[in-house]
Structure 1
Amino acid sequence: MGRRSPYPAEFRNDAVALYRAAGGKRTYAAVAADVGVTGETLRSWVRQADEQAGRADSRSGEPAAEGRDEELARLRAENSRLRKAEKGVGTRAGDPAPGSPVFREGDEGMTGRWDFICAHRADFGVQRICRVLGVSRSGYYRWLTGAKARSERQAADGALVAEIREIHTEHKGIYGVRRVHAELRGFGHTVNRKRVERLMRKHGIEGRHLRRKRTTAPGRLAPPAPDLVRRDFSARQLNEKWCGDITYVQVGGTWLYLACVLDICSRRVLGYSMATHMRAELVIDALKMAVASRGGNVDGVIFHADRGTQYTSDAFAQVCDSFGIRRSMGRVGSSYDNALAESFWQGLKRETMHQRLFSTVRQARLEIFQWLTYYNARRRHSALNYLSPAEFEQQHLRADTLTIAA
């Protein structure tokens, strides 16, 4: 009998689904790097899943119908969306409507006047045209002298806009000015943030924004734990303070609930759980995954949450006690007492659920898990000096190692 995997089954299944969703376009190593395991580990999970699916098919005599139904529903929803966008092609893409003017009145400005003078100076002379247009000859000649520099600047802006669009597209349109600027700096570009902001505004490139929404159902019977964080969402060391919360996602006509555990120092998602219920097992599974991701040694960690019934339950308290985790809770009805988790949910919903509705639970699970791995491994975080949580932890651990060696 083989050694039991330290990774929960939920995590392994989602990692396998993420690899399969790539359709062979990404290697085991590439997907495994986002998930946080080795390529060989992911390969073995996929192989085990294939073997289990083969055994299940041989017992039933035919493939599972549930998977086919979910995939069919997803394809129908996608087909409907494409049909709506087909007529205008530019739906929500900034393209002009058929028959509308491309240029607005007044767009030509002074540049248009200087261009006009250049085009007709041989026929009418510079002095006469300048007098008719009400501009000075000296201004025209200054503009003419700076033509080369202006052309070079426009070419540089064009190249920079192309890079900005590539970054914006690669991160699925979620990055705003600050993260795009950080990404450019990460690639070695020395560029002013105001220039990036100007070009993004000029070309209609912007990140996503989402309004806040409260989802907590407070538990009033169980005695609350004390507030050990007191809105201080900072930590000097990893595994000093964690926080967690629950949110929900609409899937067709039902709901998918998601619980997460974050390390306050690195903002990394240590554990998560998704289910179609909101019982205490949801937050317990997320906490157990977080403990496993830290190797099981989490004695003394502070776990902060709101006063939802799941976090005030006896079952959750017993799990915390078994790992030596100190529970902490904010006040009822105050989102600021768990602001870090609330901010995390804002990012998740803004970047995965903006103006869309998931058609199946499988689709929702896959895209949420894909975002969680992207968030940990690649997404730049403003509170971490625009490093990803994984990069921040690596630097933090290297600094600790150098300190001990010194």
Structure 2
Amino acid sequence: MSRRFVSKHRGQFPTTRLCELVGVARSSFYEWDSRPLSDHYLDDVDLAAEIHEIHVASRRTYGAPRVAGQLANRGRRHSRKRVARIMGECGLVGVHGRKKWRRGRANPAPAPDLLGRDFTAEKSNQRWVADVTEFRCWDGKLYLAGIFDLHDHTIVGWSMAQRQNTDLVVNALVMALGRRMPSGDLLHHADRGSPYTSLEFTNRLADWGLDASYSKVGDCFDNAAMESVWASVKKELRHLHGDWSKLTRSQLRTALFDYIEVFYNRQRHQARLDHHTPAETYAASRAA
């Protein structure tokens, strides 16, 4: 690495000074520089180009594990350690998580927790989880309601509004039902907040034959899968657009639409989906 640093910058600075800076003897550098490029180095260069392509396609959100997963999908299996090394040398950095926040206590509702913290599903349209998250924008709050399929990891329905009310969650449900047109047993899990336990919302669930399930009062871990989705949305949105408190609600709406519909559901490969996208996983589930 130190010799590569000298080689990269010697057109701008004296070679002697650069060698002194990195602690390499000048004779040692010239001897190294005169060697033909090794096959391993040339392979690193070729791999770096492909890593850069994958990283850019991910909107610069992927770290070494997901980049390595995408390379494997292309038939090029390399260790995470090697991918991480090359990404470091190229200055490519993925998005890292932030500390988890806890939600406030919700109102109780006389319905059971049928999910039981089992955040898995054998097929699409078998288990959905739902939640609302809040963004503080430059001109006020924006609420985002979402519904997440536990098998294919698609955000199947979503809705945005300036107020957290029944209309917000009903609109997300209507979108999900219209897109998926589910038949058979389907479990819908949410917290016990008043929008989800309202008569209008529960009637919608009943009309479509969905089984309602609710988290225990004040226990955010009962809906941890949806909390994890919001954490990913927020950390990657912050990476792409910066601090949303400086955006207007209209600007954030546009950014969220693009992120959810274009990137998250259709382009974002996930390790838990064997490095496939939600759209690919849903298509495979339908074909099975």
Bucket of the pairwise TM-score, normalised by the shorter protein = 0.7 to 0.9
Cα distance change, pair 144–293 in 1 and its aligned pair in 2 (3 A)? closer
Q: Quick check: 2:105–2:217 contact (8 Å CA) kept in 1?
A: no
1:394 to 2:279 alignment:
no
Tell me the secondary structure at the aligned position of residue 320 of structure 1. Answer: helix
Q: Quick check: 1:233–1:340 contact (8 Å CA) kept in 2?
A: yes
1:162 Cα shift? 2.6
1:228 to 2:122 alignment:
no
2:11 is matched with: none
2:94 is matched with: 207
CA distance in 1, matches of 2:91, 2:219: 36
1:263 Cα shift? 1.1
1:192 Cα shift? 2.5
Greater Cα radius of gyration, structure 1 or 2: 1
Match of 2:185 among 300, 317, 332: 300
Q: Structure 2 counterpart of 1:359, which letter?
A: L
User: Relative contact order (alpha carbons < 8 A, sep ≥ 6): 1 or 2 greater?
Assistant: 2
2:213 is matched with: 328
Cα distance change, pair 368–280 in 1 and its aligned pair in 2 (3 A)? same
Cα distance change, pair 376–213 in 1 and its aligned pair in 2 (3 A)? same
1:106 Cα shift? 6.5
CA distance in 2, matches of 1:315, 1:104: 73
Match of 2:273 among 356, 364, 384: 384
1:264 is matched with: 150
1:284 is matched with: 170
CA distance in 2, matches of 1:105, 1:329: 65
1:371 is matched with: 259
1:172 Cα shift? 1.8
CA distance in 2, matches of 1:103, 1:342: 49
Query: How well do the aligned residues superpose, as a CA RMSD in angstroms?
Result: 2.5
Cα distance change, pair 114–104 in 1 and its aligned pair in 2 (3 A)? closer
Cα distance change, pair 312–194 in 1 and its aligned pair in 2 (3 A)? same
Percent of aligned positions with the same letter in both sequences?
Answer: 34
1:193 Cα shift? 2.3
CA distance in 2, matches of 1:163, 1:144: 25
1:168 is matched with: 55
CA distance in 2, matches of 1:105, 1:244: 59
1:315 is matched with: 200
2:106 is matched with: 218
Q: Quick check: 2:103–2:218 contact (8 Å CA) kept in 1?
A: no
2:229 is matched with: 344
Number of residue pairs aligned between Structure 1 and Structure 2: 267
CA distance in 2, matches of 1:157, 1:333: 51
1:195 is matched with: 82
Cα distance change, pair 299–329 in 1 and its aligned pair in 2 (3 A)? same
1:198 Cα shift? 1.6
1:272 Cα shift? 0.6
Q: Structure 1 counterpart of 2:28, which letter?
A: W
Cα distance change, pair 321–159 in 1 and its aligned pair in 2 (3 A)? same
TM-score by length of 1: 0.61
Q: Structure 1 counterpart of 2:50, which letter?
A: E
Stretches of structure 2 that go unaligned for 5 or more consecutive residues are 1-16
Q: Structure 2 counterpart of 1:154, which letter?
A: Y
TM-score by length of 2: 0.84
Matches within 5 A, 1:96-175: 107-109=22-24, 114-115=28-29, 118=31, 147-148=35-36, 151-175=38-62
Q: Quick check: 1:381–1:387 contact (8 Å CA) kept in 2?
A: yes
Moved over 6 A (4+): 102-106
1:274 Cα shift? 0.6
Q: Structure 1 counterpart of 2:107, which letter?
A: G
CA distance in 2, matches of 1:323, 1:105: 73
Q: Structure 1 counterpart of 2:179, which letter?
A: S
1:104 Cα shift? 9.8
